[in-house]
Amino acid sequence: MQISPRILKGFRDSLPDQELIRRDAFFKLEKTFRSHGLVPVDTPALEYTEVLLGKGGGETDKQVYSFKDNGNREVALRFDLTVPFARFMAMHVNKVGLPFKRYHMAKVWRGENTQKGRFREFYQCDFDIVGLDNASADFEILMIIFDALQQLGIDRFTIRISHRGLFNEFLERLGIVSLSVEILRTVDKLSKIGRENTFEQLCNITSRDKAEKILSFISCGDAASDGTIPDTEEILSRLTSLVGFKSDHLSRIEDIFGYMRDSGVSGKLILDPSITRGLDYYTGIVYETFLDQLPGIGSICSGGRYNNLASLYSKEQLPGVGASIGLDRLLAAMEDPQLMNNHQETVPGSWADVIILCMSESYTGFYAKTAAEFRAAGFKAEIYHTQKKMAQQFKYAEKRSIPFAVIAGANEIEKGHINIKNLTNFEEIQDITIFEAIRFMRNGVI
Amino acid sequence: MQISPRILKGFRDSLPDQELIRRDAFFKLEKTFRSHGLVPVDTPALEYTEVLLGKGGGETDKQVYSFKDNGNREVALRFDLTVPFARFMAMHVNKVGLPFKRYHMAKVWRGENTQKGRFREFYQCDFDIVGLDNASADFEILMIIFDALQQLGIDRFTIRISHRGLFNEFLERLGIVSLSVEILRTVDKLSKIGRENTFEQLCNITSRDKAEKILSFISCGDAASDGTIPDTEEILSRLTSLVGFKSDHLSRIEDIFGYMRDSGVSGKLILDPSITRGLDYYTGIVYETFLDQLPGIGSICSGGRYNNLASLYSKEQLPGVGASIGLDRLLAAMEDPQLMNNHQETVPGSWADVIILCMSESYTGFYAKTAAEFRAAGFKAEIYHTQKKMAQQFKYAEKRSIPFAVIAGANEIEKGHINIKNLTNFEEIQDITIFEAIRFMRNGVI
């Protein structure tokens, strides 16, 4: 009895063309993280529901895949990598030591409404520095974002940074810090709903006068009516007068911009007080990253500083700073050829570098030897295993974007020689050694 | 209210020292698979229970994590990568084309009895060639096993190969092919329960006479009483006379050994008729791989040929050949230093190549610039972000096995110079350029 092969709504298979691109991106990100001294960790996909959601559970609950396992335990699939990391640090802080710098790229699951084009299984890519609270650690995370995106071949992007603590000091001055959660949630929607709707909504939370002051805070980095954009110094001085004193948080921002200048790091970092992030737990710098050519897709890498990662599980205070790359959004954007810089190598869509075609299956030993020599030279070498018509073998290679083919029959094999064909321009060089073929693949001549 | 941080029985966190080793192994395996022209795929962790288990479900059921999702669908976590791959091929065969060569390294979940030292979440690493049924494809999988283990630094291992079809022909000649499932299950336990117990159990299934014949089949590769080990030719001729005719399956084995000879591939491949594999669905060659120095841990890579991968979902006949690497078992074995060959690089236990120590946080910009130059030269360079006592900074580096430290204070920074210290032998070179420091790290001299 046959079963209809199908997958769950909101879930996806990843076919080779897509998976090759994704794994290439993972590889480049991992290389960047490691180059900054970050180390990988892994946590279970399944955890106690209570550990993931806390005693009560909130709005997230309905989205979480939770159930009773065969041992009658309440368990759930992780819905992000932050909560498991908090639990991890509460358990292992003494083993991993502080400061601890880690990355984690793994799947998470949420029973989201798929009509919004959302998926129920997707990757998250998080990196954090835990156990430090200073401008140097803040700056490190920003450098990693710069490096990671440049590694992926993306040159034109801007990190917009602000400071949650500063915003809270400002609300305190206005005497409305108790309303900060609602205010933050409203301000976070600014780019979506526009200035006027934001103002309306703020007026529902606080007085018209204070709503105006909030608007002037978050827009003090905006261009003037004559188009002039204020520089960092100018914004900092405006923020100082709005907050009413030279706050430590302002010095923190100054230090970060100073390090940026001293390091000569290339990349655009802009002070933008409209960045506040909706989430409750940020206490220091917050940032979002936008593609200069595709601002409309929103932030592709966001994060900030928090003062207590593991408060749910431990009395130990664990301050940290981190970011999360929106990998699915970024990979979708990377399909836009305009976005990619010129240094970008060929899209990794080729399934192999060279294919050894099959004149006769009895030559398999020779073909295997040939393939092994190409591999030793660093090439991906595939063998076509059956004696099909040449046209069919070429078609197979073409469909998989394999750029070179080796053809060797009795005459060549007797001498230990091969023929090699460039499948892009159909140039063929006959009766050469494997060493000459490798030179041909590398340099175009033998 | 605080929650006790804990993880589920049978699940594990992976801390950096362990995760670095695992990711290094993944990287080497992936590189090997890609070098043979295999491509990656991914499938969802969660699928319809019916798709994974079939209409009935069998003994696996109790081990499977299955539940009703919020949409009232019966869903389950995958318990292996083979069933999802069969479903994948039934759905996508026209998109990926045949022959199709894929690998998949991912987590699977089984509610196993943890008392046996088993885990409920673990990685599988599968690779297959689908759409071909010939000796060339069979041989390719064996070559990949050779390459993969050698890439991991393991030189001394033996692949033991036999042929399930041949064994079935033999049972047919004895008139007991209908009992093959029970017989295979018994023979598969030979190495665990020994020759005598196997014989006893075979006698419970069939006659004493036939049980003896089965034993002589599976042991016809064994050493004689004088210690002589029969060569492949000899075993093939014994098998021919036991089966009663020169079977096509025997020619297949001959071809594979012929290709092995012609290709000059290094590695030990031994014909061993006692290898039968317990699983029902193998129809052609079957093989297991043993570490020469640790045979007791059992096979670290097993597989074989099947004639119909997706029979549960599709009428299309999809023959294939594949193998699965027992990654957890292998990684545990690799902790044995005796096992590793001499070419093996240092165990990847170092968290970074060089650490930039902190004389003052105000120098962060210079330190960032220095780190970036080390990174551009291919090194993993970490910054120590706070102005702690030097002893504490050195201790941090030592605990993470970082071999070099950069020390730069006002005097050096003024000239754009640094001091570098080898933390293994405490050799320090002072007042040099970053370029000289890189030469020192590479060559031991500036």
Q: Which residues pair with B269 in a beta bridge?
A: B159
A58 touches chain B (CB under 8 A): no
B70 touches chain A (CB under 8 A): yes
C-alpha gyration radius of chain B: 28
Quick check: B132 and A385 CB within 8 A?
yes
Q: Which two tokens stand for residue A47?
A: 């955890």
Q: Decide: A83 and A48 in contact? Cβ < 8 Å.
A: no
Quick check: B39 and A45 CB within 8 A?
no
Write the single-letter amino acid at A1.
M
Quick check: A65 and B69 CB within 8 A?
yes
Q: Is A68 helix (H, G, I), strand (E, B) or coil?
A: strand
Q: Decide: B32 and B148 in contact? Cβ < 8 Å.
A: yes
Q: Which two tokens stand for residue A328?
A: 């699915």
Q: Decide: A75 and A67 in contact? Cβ < 8 Å.
A: yes
Handedness of CA A332, A336, A341, A346 (dihedral sign): positive
pLDDT, position B340: 62
Position of tokens 């074995």?
A: B333
Pick from A5, A54, A92: CB nearest B15: A92
Count of CB pairs separated by less than 8 Å, A with B: 321
- Which are the contacts of B92, defined by CB distance < 8 A and separation ≥ 6? A13, A15
Position of tokens 């210079």?
A: B366
B105 touches chain A (CB under 8 A): no
How close A441 gets to chain B, by Cα (Å)? Answer: 16
Residues 351-390 of B with CB under 8 A from A: 351-352, 355, 358, 361, 364-369, 371-372, 375, 379-383, 385-386
Quick check: B265 and A55 CB within 8 A?
no
Residues 306-335 of B with CB under 8 A from A: 310, 312-315
pLDDT, position A343: 41
Summarize pLDDT for A396-439 with one digit per residue, the tens: 999 899 999 999 999 999 999 999 999 999 999 999 999 999 99
Q: Which two tokens stand for residue B128?
A: 């297959």
Summarize pLDDT for B386-438 with one digit per residue, the tens: 999 999 999 999 989 999 999 999 999 999 999 999 999 999 999 999 999 99
How close B432 gets to chain A, by Cα (Å)? Answer: 19
In this prediction, residues B263-276 reach a mean pLDDT of 90
Q: Which two tokens stand for residue B301?
A: 């890579």
Cα nearest neighbour of B13 on chain A:
A43
How large is the angle between the packed helices A164-174 and A208-218, nearest 10 degrees? 160
Cα nearest neighbour of A15 on chain B:
B41
Summarize pLDDT for B20-49 with one digit per residue, the tens: 999 999 999 999 999 999 999 999 999 999
Ordered strands of the B282-291 beta sheet? B39-40, B100-109, B121-130, B320-325, B301-306, B282-291, B157-163, B268-271
In whole angstroms, give the CA distance from residue B287 to residue B302: 6
Residues of chain A in contact with residue B372, where contact means CB-CB under 8 angstroms, are 143, 263, 265
pLDDT, position B446: 79
- The alpha-helical segments, DSSP class H, found in A161-278 are 164-174, 180-187, 190-205, 208-218, 232-243, 248-263
Residues 28-57 of B with CB under 8 A from A: 30, 34-37, 39-48, 50-51, 54-55
pLDDT, position A117: 74
In this prediction, residues B343-359 reach a mean pLDDT of 75
Q: Which residues pair with B422 in a beta bridge?
A: B404
Position of tokens 């892009």?
A: A424
* Environment class of A59 (CB within 10 Å of its CB; exposed 0-12, middle 13-18, buried 19+): exposed
Pick from A40, A139, A358: CB nearest B23: A40
Tell me the C-alpha to C-alpha distance, in Å, between residue B147 and each of A195, A380, B285.
61, 13, 19
A8-156+292-349 is classed in which CATH architecture? 2-Layer Sandwich (3.30)
In whole angstroms, give the CA distance from residue A279 to residue A181: 8
Pick from B8, B42, B365: CB nearest A261: B365
Q: Interface pTM (ipTM) of the complex? A: 0.90
A257 touches chain B (CB under 8 A): no
Cα nearest neighbour of A261 on chain B:
B365
Quick check: B11 and A46 CB within 8 A?
yes
Confidence class of residue B348 from pLDDT cuts 50, 70 and 90?
Answer: low
Residues of chain A in contact with residue B19, where contact means CB-CB under 8 angstroms, are 39-42
- The alpha-helical segments, DSSP class H, found in B219-326 are 232-243, 248-263
Confidence class of residue B341 from pLDDT cuts 50, 70 and 90?
Answer: low
Q: Which two tokens stand for residue B95?
A: 């998109």
pLDDT, position B59: 55
Q: Which of A189, A31, A99 is nearest to B380 (CA)?
A: A31
In whole angstroms, give the CA distance from residue A127 to residue B282: 44
Q: Which of A233, A214, A234, A237 is nearest to A224 (CA)?
A: A234
Q: Which two tokens stand for residue B430?
A: 């002072």
Q: Which of B73, B38, B26, B28 is nearest to B52 (CA)?
A: B73
In whole angstroms, give the CA distance from residue B128 to residue B125: 10
Summarize pLDDT for B53-83 with one digit per residue, the tens: 986 555 557 789 999 999 999 999 999 999 9
**Domain ranges (residues) in chain B:** 16-339, 354-443
Residues of chain A in contact with residue B13, where contact means CB-CB under 8 angstroms, are 41-44, 88, 91-92
Q: Which of A418, A335, A320, A315 is nearest to A374 (CA)?
A: A418
Give Cα B127 distance to the centre of its chain: 10
Q: What is the largest CA-CA distance in chain B?
A: 91
Quick check: A365 and B12 CB within 8 A?
no
Pick from B75, B121, B399: CB nearest A46: B121
Write the single-letter amino acid at B316.
E
Residues of chain B in contact with residue A365, where contact means CB-CB under 8 angstroms, are 258-264
pLDDT, position B336: 74
Residues 181-220 of A with CB under 8 A from B: none
Q: Which of B312, B328, B319 is nearest to B83 (CA)?
A: B312
* CATH class, B16-339 region: alpha beta
Quick check: B368 and A259 CB within 8 A?
yes
Residues 128-157 of A with CB under 8 A from B: 129, 132, 134-137, 139-140, 143, 147
Pick from A67, A90, A129: CB nearest B67: A67
Q: Are strands A66-68 and A74-77 parallel, antiparallel or unpaired?
A: antiparallel
Measured in degrees and rounded to the nearest 5, phi and psi for residue B397 equal -65, -40
Quick check: B41 and A19 CB within 8 A?
yes
Residues of chain B in contact with residue A14, where contact means CB-CB under 8 angstroms, are 40-43
pLDDT, position A346: 43
Measured in degrees and rounded to the nearest 5, phi and psi for residue A98 equal -120, 150
Q: Is A157 helix (H, G, I), strand (E, B) or coil?
A: strand
B354-443 is classed in which CATH architecture? 3-Layer(aba) Sandwich (3.40)
Helix, strand counts (H, E) of chain B? 15, 16
Q: Which residues of chain A have pLDDT under 50?
A: 342-347
- pTM of the prediction? 0.90
The DSSP code for B229 is P
User: For B244-349, where are the E strands, in sequence order?
Assistant: 268-271, 282-291, 301-306, 320-325
- Answer whether residue B345 shows pLDDT above 90: no
- Which are the contacts of A161, defined by CB distance < 8 A and separation ≥ 6? A142, A253, A256, A269, A270, A271, A272, A275, A285, A286, A287
pLDDT, position B387: 94
Position of tokens 């491509």?
A: B39
Q: Which of B23, B42, B75 to mutate to test the interface with A (most CBs of A within 10 A)?
A: B42
